[in-house]
Structure 1
Amino acid sequence: MTLQRPKGTKDHLPPGSPGLSLDIQASAHAHVQRVAAQVLERAGARLTATPLFEDAALVKRGVGGSTDIVRKEMFTVYYAGDHGGFVLRPEGTAPIVRSYLENGLKQLGSPLKLWTHGPMFRAENVQQGRLRQFHQVDYECIGSSDPLADAEAIALMWEIVTELGLRGVSIQLGSIGDPQDRAAYNEYLRELFAPHLDALSDDSKERLERNPMRILDSKSSSDQALIAELGVRPMLDFLGEDARAHFAAVQEFLREWEVPFEIDPSIVRGLDYYRRTAWELHHQGIGAKSALGGGGRYDGLAQELGSKAEVPGIGWAFGIERILLAMQDEGLSVPEPAGPLLYLAALEGAQVPLAAQLARQARAVGGAEFSYRKRGAGQAYKEAARLGARYAGVIGSEEAAAHALKLKHLGSGETSTVPFGELNTFLMTTFQGEDS
């Protein structure tokens, strides 16, 4: 039996691997994470990390019992002992808010900006950009209910994708109001859909009483046809005065900052702890399921997880694989990983340990590699070029006796004789000079 990776997962491969599309390049994933880190940490966000698995109760309360994630897509993990089970985390927000509360992170100041990246797990129907193990960048701003925090969160997401070079993206912006606004909207939906119960899917029939807003997110074509036929009014029509003013302020900040957006009245978040601002980031080039990520305000989540006081928060996440598919669609590439600063090879077996010793010494300055067996000079320079090395050198009995290397710059072809004891100084000086 040939072992293969599980369905819905991908290996992230090193440069030079065959069939290397952008979404499975390990260096491409690292590039997205690196750009996100630069943008978010310039804005004061601090890197955090939570376990890959959490209590099932956290996910059910933090994501919502009526969502497809909880009802159909969770990976549950059991172990010997009296415990209700753990789940592999399907998203990042609930674990970060749990960590914030459990570890007293309020002491770090308010608002506290946190970000993370890493794998998430959902039992998806596998298709392009929809994996069972996928990777996200996640940003959370905890402790502020100001519309300025909402606008900044959206702007940071926009800055990341534009710094990655994406141009065919759009922000779809909406609001789901305050709890009383949502209650009024849910009552309207119940009254509207009740006479058409037989036309709803089984999932939507179940949602009608518990959480009617979730019907609007239904993946059923018959549900969507009924929604269009009935001319369902949008949530925006039900916003109260405070939520409407908040929404207007967010839009004004975004316009001042020249962050483009479109109002999308169809955006909903059905869970009770969501508040006001909600948005999605789309790219039409990756197919019908065009969302790259999204975010929203969740002022009621901390209380849902056990906090006595309300802790306002807003955050977002995007899928790294989906970002890379969008980049691939636009013909974008990622920077090639830099080759080593130095490559050394021994002309004779007796000098292989010396080549290794000098290469290890040079790693204090930059990347350095060596051959594990003797090589001819031609082979050595060919291998150094394949690796993208800046300098290459060979060591034979003459070099060993003279305690000096003859280094060749592979770009210019110039050679330099460098005593062993001066190797790092030479490399550092020339490296800094070329990169200045």
Structure 2
Amino acid sequence: MAIQRPKGTQDHLPDGSPKLSLDTQASAFQDVQDTARRVLSRAGAQFVSTPIFEEAELVKRGVGGSTDIVRKEMFTVYYFGDHGGFILRPEGTAGIVRSYLQNGLKQLPSPLKLWTHGPMFRAENVQKGRLRQFHQVDYEVLGSADPLVDAEAISLMVDVVSALGLTGVRVKLGSIGDPADRDAYNAYLRELFGAHVERLSDDSKDRLERNPMRILDSKSAGDQALIAELGVNPMLDFLGDEARAHFQAVQTYLNAWNVTYDIDPSIVRGLDYYRRTAWELHHEGVGAKSALGGGGRYDGLAEQLGGPLVPGIGWAFGIERLLLAMEAEGLDVPASGGPLLYVVALDDQFVGHAATVAMVARQVARAEFAYRAVKPGSAFRDAGRRGAQFVALIGSDEVQGNVLSIKNLTTGVQSTVPTRDLNSFLGDHLEQTGTAAAHGPAVPQENA
């Protein structure tokens, strides 16, 4: 049996592949990334790229030692003896904040908006929408604690998924207050759950002393049944005056911008550096756990990583989960499309000439060529399979006359074009049809 890909990973395939679904379609991933780039760059966000592995200590501080991610789901890479190990990044925020501190990005205009996309890694139980290597779009804003920044971040997340055509999404909005508010809430939870400690899962017994808010995120059915039975008061009931005013200001902005949301008191972020605003974006089409992604304010993270106080807020969504939601709504993405021009030699001695013609044409459009000589009928069939719009045939007469015999496969119109005028011919067509964006030169992509 041939070697298979690792469990919990996916191949991203070219259009037309026999086993293609939207969440494995390479052009669909590109479309999500391009859409995010367009929406976020218009809002002033700049692309940033960080390594896919970081020091283990960064991830432990940045994600939190009490989380399932750190305790159960990290991929650790060891090398050369006694080094403490690197972690394949499970999320993007900690690395971006580390980069901000290490590279002096505080000198840039504030607030600094950054975004990225790329693979993340968690050793999860594999199920629909949950992979061990998955991909995220990530947006972070550093340098401002203004509730206007929070509202804009939420709005931009909605803008990205809306630009992809999704309609069945909903923002669930909450707040976890300030550190003093959270301390009061944790004291309440310790007292409440302490009387029922024997009914808690082993994980939640451990969390009871270290971080009781994490009990509310428990995956244990028994824990969730106990939470429902006790009627646990929400974090929102413990907000101080400043945190409550901040939360109200965020809602005021969202209301003014017609961003729909539901107040969800169950949303918590249990780590010490989280502050105030927290939210999730949900869609029923991605499986039992309907979250596409989420975000929150993390004003204490830079200090946790050894830097100064730097207010921050950010969000991320999983691209695979987003594509599953799009598929559930019957949405598709534009196919990558074929070449505008397919150049074919009718005799072996002219194959090199056909290649040259195609390479020159690439200055204005996507162009391909046949690597061996074929007859006209085969040339037209091959061009059709590739999705080409024009076929240029090169035989002895064309070479002698320094011309190209070109057929438009859409209209059936045939014409003779001087070789030197080919790019003008193609450019005129693109201008007339408005398809320059589809067939133009590839836009350089960021490395991620």
Considering the TM-score relative to the shorter chain, is it more than 0.5?
A: yes
Question: Does 2:72 correspond to 1:72?
Answer: yes
Aligned to 1:270: 270
Aligned to 1:393: 392
Deviations 1:44-66 (A, max 9, x none): 00000000100000000000000
Question: Does 2:165 correspond to 1:165?
Answer: yes
Counterpart code for 1:135:
H
Question: Does 2:191 correspond to 1:191?
Answer: yes
Determine the C-alpha separation between the residues in 1 that align with 2:84 and 2:138: 27
Give the 5 Å matches for 1:129-148: 129-148=129-148
Q: C-alpha displacement at 1:395, in angstroms?
A: 1.0
Q: C-alpha displacement at 1:338, in angstroms?
A: 2.5
Q: Secondary structure at the match of 1:379?
A: helix
Deviations 1:362-385 (A, max 9, x none): 111111001001111011111111
Contact conserved, 2:403 with 2:417, CA < 8 A, in 1? yes
Count residues in correspondence. 435
Determine the C-alpha separation between the residues in 2 that align with 1:384 and 1:435: 22
Determine the C-alpha separation between the residues in 1 that align with 2:296 and 2:430: 46
Aligned to 2:441: none
Gaps of at least 5 residues in structure 2 are 436-448
Q: C-alpha displacement at 1:396, in angstroms?
A: 1.1
Determine the C-alpha separation between the residues in 2 that align with 1:284 and 1:412: 44
Determine the C-alpha separation between the residues in 2 that align with 1:101 and 1:49: 14
Q: C-alpha displacement at 1:430, in angstroms?
A: 2.1
Determine the C-alpha separation between the residues in 2 that align with 1:287 and 1:40: 27
Determine the C-alpha separation between the residues in 2 that align with 1:287 and 1:433: 45
Aligned to 1:88: 88
Deviations 1:325-353 (A, max 9, x none): 00000000000113211101111111111
Aligned to 2:62: 62
Determine the C-alpha separation between the residues in 2 that align with 1:228 and 1:433: 63
What TM-score does the superposition give when structure 2 sets the normalisation length?
0.96
Determine the C-alpha separation between the residues in 1 that align with 2:420 and 2:243: 69
Q: Secondary structure at the match of 1:385?
A: helix
Determine the C-alpha separation between the residues in 2 that align with 1:328 and 1:175: 32
Aligned to 1:340: 339
Q: Secondary structure at the match of 2:196?
A: helix
Counterpart code for 2:298:
Y
Q: C-alpha displacement at 1:150, in angstroms?
A: 0.2
Contact conserved, 2:140 with 2:315, CA < 8 A, in 1? yes
Deviations 1:236-268 (A, max 9, x none): 000000000000000000000000000000001
Give the 5 Å matches for 1:356-375: 356-375=355-374
Q: Secondary structure at the match of 1:140?
A: strand
Q: C-alpha displacement at 1:287, in angstroms?
A: 2.1
Contact conserved, 2:8 with 2:126, CA < 8 A, in 1? yes
Contact conserved, 2:89 with 2:120, CA < 8 A, in 1? yes
Determine the C-alpha separation between the residues in 1 that align with 2:35 and 2:419: 38
Determine the C-alpha separation between the residues in 2 that align with 1:285 and 1:418: 51
Aligned to 2:328: 329
Deviations 1:298-340 (A, max 9, x none): 0000000001x21000000000000000000000000011321
Determine the C-alpha separation between the residues in 1 that align with 2:73 and 2:372: 51
Q: Secondary structure at the match of 2:288?
A: coil
Contact conserved, 2:286 with 2:292, CA < 8 A, in 1? no
Q: Secondary structure at the match of 1:49?
A: coil
Contact conserved, 2:213 with 2:268, CA < 8 A, in 1? yes
Aligned to 1:114: 114
Question: Does 2:178 correspond to 1:178?
Answer: yes
Determine the C-alpha separation between the residues in 2 that align with 1:302 and 1:325: 34
Determine the C-alpha separation between the residues in 1 that align with 2:287 and 2:60: 30
Aligned to 1:287: 287
Q: Secondary structure at the match of 1:337?
A: coil
Aligned to 1:254: 254
Determine the C-alpha separation between the residues in 2 that align with 1:399 and 1:339: 25
Aligned to 1:200: 200
Gaps of at least 5 residues in structure 1 are none
Aligned to 1:103: 103
Counterpart code for 1:165:
G
Question: Does 2:54 correspond to 1:51?
Answer: no
Question: Does 2:9 correspond to 1:9?
Answer: yes
Q: Secondary structure at the match of 2:195?
A: helix
Counterpart code for 2:17:
S
Counterpart code for 1:88:
L
Deviations 1:96-149 (A, max 9, x none): 000000000011111000000000000010000000000000000000000000
Counterpart code for 1:52:
I
Larger mean CA deviation between 279-288 and 96-105 belongs to: 279-288
Larger mean CA deviation between 21-30 and 397-406 belongs to: 397-406
Counterpart code for 1:27:
S
Counterpart code for 1:31:
D
Deviations 1:202-228 (A, max 9, x none): 000000000000000000000000001
Q: C-alpha displacement at 1:81, in angstroms?
A: 4.3
Aligned CA-pair RMSD:
0.9
Contact conserved, 2:62 with 2:304, CA < 8 A, in 1? yes
Counterpart code for 1:405:
L
